[in-house]
Every structure is written in structure tokens, then in C-alpha cells.
Amino acid sequence: MHERSPVSMRPEPMPASAGIGLRAQHHLDVLSGAPRTGWFEAHSENYFADGGAHVEALMRIRARYPLSLHGVGLSLGSTDPWDRLHLEKLRRAIGRFEPGLVSEHLSWSSVGGRFANDLLPLPYTEEALRHSSARIAEVQDYLGRQILIENVSSYLQFNSSSLTEWEFLAGVAAESGCGILLDINNIFVAAHNHGYECHDYLQGIPRGAVQELHLAGHSRAEFEGALLLIDTHGSPVCEAVWELYRAALRRFGEVPTLIEWDTDIPPIHVLEAEADKANALRASLHAVAA
């Protein structure tokens, strides 16, 4: 079942056109139709099983589309020893599916052997920067390839932070040699929740480091009369995030963009329409620049 076809499965550079986040609900639609998307991105852990329907579906999807694997559970910034089994399964998934891109989050989710299974922000300190960079370098050595690191949405900042998030992200990329997956919605959410300027963030990220962009919807939540933006991935990309995406395209150029939608998952044509919108925006900016 898992033998590879060397012709269709060769790792290939990701197209600059927009991709769609793959959810199990859409496996059948993808396999029975031919959705309009340049590529798919799948959560690595959802395909860690030894076998079964999901693994089988992704093998077949991979034979038709370029693929990116995006991890949510590695706990990169944790001070615990590595979960070796998790790393092994990630390496196996990369061997099986031969993704064009592999990414993880700049966050932590475990300590003392206990897991929150959520993307927790790091304190932006020199200690955390050195630690995270070393961990990313270890993962890259183990996997034998570069990985991309994504900025997370966050609802809190630690008062021990001495660096801005963009200084921290840029610093980690410079020290570890990883690429950056810049999530535009996460910048927007964090900037609101912590009171900084999205454009300062974009300017703080080096041009050549960004290899992928993420777009998603968020929601708003009232707490004690204060408004926090929550990264739910359950709605269309909002106008302000599209605007920030334009600015990101101007700064970072032709970079593969992903539409993410992980809760209240709509029919796949809704995601195709969001991807079309990203492509149209990219084309119009490109035309102006040319």
C-alpha cells in the first residue's frame, strides 16, 4: 500500500499559487474531483498512523498535488528532552509523502512530560532564542532538511521578554538556518492583543527568509469588557488581513500562500474561492510591479 512511485512523488518546489489546508472531511472531494488549488498542506500528526484510510487518502492526494506537512505537536520550544517517537513518526511521514515543505511552530506545548496540546508562546528572551535555535537545528539535522518555523497567534506575553516577537523570529531563523512561515492572520491577532503595529512586524522580518504565508479567519471574544482576537481558523479571511497580505506580498514577493480553515469546516468550494482571491491579489500586484 505504501510503496512510492518515484515519478509522481518526487519532492518538487512548491508553486507560488495559493494552496488549501487539507482536512479529512475533504479527502473524498479531493479524490473524486479535482479542486482548484496549487497544493495542499496537511497537519503532520493527522498522518502519523501506521496505516488506515487517512494515510491511504494522503498517499493518493500526494500523487496528484504538491504537498506541505505542517506540524502542530512537536513542542519545539520545550525544555524537555525530545519526544523521540514523535520525531521518528515525523521522519517516517516525510519519507512516505515526500512533502515540498515541512513546517513547525515557534512555540512550546509540553514540560515535565505533560502536554497542553496547544501552541503556547515563548518568552522572547536571549535564553529562549538560543534554546529554540538549537532545537530547530537539531530537528533539521535529524530530518536532513530545512524546516520552516511559523509565528503563532497569542493571547499573552511574558513580562520577562526583552525582544519583540519579530526580533525573536528573525533571530531564530538567522541562528538555526530555518526558513520562516509567516502567518499573516497570526500577526494581525497578536498585534491587536498586545498592542503593536503589524507593519513594524513585517519590516522586522528579513526579505529572503520567508518561504510560505498563511491566511485564516479569526474571531473576537469579549473578556471583562476588553476585546481579544482569537485564532479560530473558522471563518473567511477578514478584509484587514487581506490588506496586510498585500503589504506582505509587496515585501516578500512570490511566496506560496495557504488558506487555513480548521473549525466549522465549510465545503471545499469555499476554500477554493478563498484561494482564488489570494491568487487574484497576487496577480494584480505582480501586474502593477511589472
Q: Where do contacts with other proteins occur on this chain (CB under 8 A)?
A: 1-2, 45, 48-53, 56, 72-75, 78-79, 83, 86, 89, 108-118, 120, 122-123, 125, 127-128, 131, 155-161, 192-195, 221, 223-230
Identify the CA nearest to 246 among candidates 195, 255, 192.
255
> Among residues 160 and 284, whose Cβ is nearest to other proteins?
160
> How far is it, in rounded angstroms, from Cα 159 to Cα 52?
46
Show the cell assigned to 179.
Answer: 526558513
- Write out the DSSP string of 167-208: HHHHHHHHHH--EEEEEHHHHHHHHHHHT--HHHHHHTS-GG
> Among residues 28 and 273, whose Cβ is nearest to other proteins?
28
> Among residues 114 and 207, whose Cβ is nearest to other proteins?
114
> Among residues 146 and 157, whose Cβ is nearest to other proteins?
157
CB of 279 to other proteins, least distance (A): 32
> Among residues 53 and 273, whose Cβ is nearest to other proteins?
53
Q: Among positive and negative, which fits the CA dihedral 62, 179, 278, 280?
A: negative
Residue type, 96: R
CA distances from residue 268 to 51, 56, 90, 154, 271 in whole angstroms, order as listed? 25, 20, 27, 28, 5
> How far is it, in rounded angstroms, from Cα 77 to Cα 99?
23
Show the cell assigned to 139.
Answer: 530537528
> Among residues 161 and 235, whose Cβ is nearest to other proteins?
161
CB of 156 to other proteins, least distance (A): 4
